[in-house]
Structure formats: C-alpha cells, structure tokens
Amino acid sequence: MLFKLKQKVGLHRQNGRIFGPGDVVESNEDLTKKFRGKFNEVKGEELSPGVDDKFKRRKPPIPVPPVPMVPVEEAKSKAKEKTAVEKINVDPELGKDITADFPEAKEIGLKVFVNPHKWCQVVDANNDNKILNEKKLRKKDVDDFLHQYLNEEDEEEEIEEDEEEEEEGMEN
C-alpha cells in the first residue's frame, strides 16, 4: 500500500531526495508509526494536483514601490526647455552667463560668465565682449572686482575732466 504523508518537522531523506516541513512524501511504509510526530497522513483532498508544497512555503516577494510615471510628451518638453535655456545662457568660449547674479554689472553694461572649472570672466558687452579681469576670479571675488573696476573708471573720468579744464584754462 502507498502512503502519502505530509512532513511536519525536521528533515527526511528517501530515495536520494531530502524532504523538509510541508513536503509530501510517498512511501510504501507508514512513516507516522515509524517516526512519531514527524508526519501526518494526507487525504486526497489536501493535495492540489500539479502544485508542489515547496512553493507554498516560500516567503512572499518583497513589494517594490511603484515608479512614478511621467507622460512621454511632458518629459520631452521639459528636456527641450532645459536645453533651450542652457543654449541661450552659455557662450562656448566664456562659459555660462551668470550676470543676473551681479546687478551692478548689468547696470553698467558688463556681463559675468563662469566656466566649468568655476572661474569667472567679467566682460564688456558693449566692447565686443572684451575680458576686463586679468586674473582668474572666483564667483565670491566678482563683487570686489566690480567695485574696483567702477572706482578706476571714475578716476579716469576725473582725470579726463581735469585735463579738459586745464586745456580750457590755457586757451583763455
């Protein structure tokens, strides 16, 4: 007679296979008498045809949070906007235009650019983007440079005015 037994605890080796708790073992012997408390006899209804008990014992998969989905059209338009803005504000020789961070520069017709290495250039936008700073500047040093540049410009204007007054005085 063939016995169908469901293993409750421990491991059982038979015909080269190892069975664990929940596995169904088919045997010609009544293993419930031979190994007390280790097996239960299985009735025909307890077995689901084609389903291995090992799969029933596996842990459920870990749930993965859903990835937020963005419509393709929206993602493409955002990408186009971003690249369009970058193209407008980047000069291939000077870098990214950051003049908006320096209102004083904008007021007097200067532009400030920063390159990928974080060095800044101050240029005269009205004079074919002539670079005004001789030394490399970090962003934090641009304000000081602008103040110094404005003072030099004011001094040059005063000297020109003084020279004009001297010339007028000589003529009279």
Least confident span in 1-5, 35-39, 51-55, 120-124: 51-55
Residue 16's pLDDT band, with cuts at 50, 70 and 90, is: confident
Q: pTM for the complete prediction?
A: 0.41
Give percent of the chain above pLDDT 70. 64
Computed over every residue of the chain, the mean pLDDT equals 76
Burial of 3 (0-12, 13-18, 19+ CB in 10 A): middle
**pLDDT tens for residues 117-144?**
889 999 988 888 888 888 889 999 999 9
164 or 30: which leads in pLDDT: 30
| pLDDT at residue 11 in the model | 85
- Domain locations along the chain: 3-43, 86-171
**pLDDT tens for residues 54-112?**
545 555 556 667 766 767 777 677 666 655 444 445 567 788 999 899 988 888 889 99
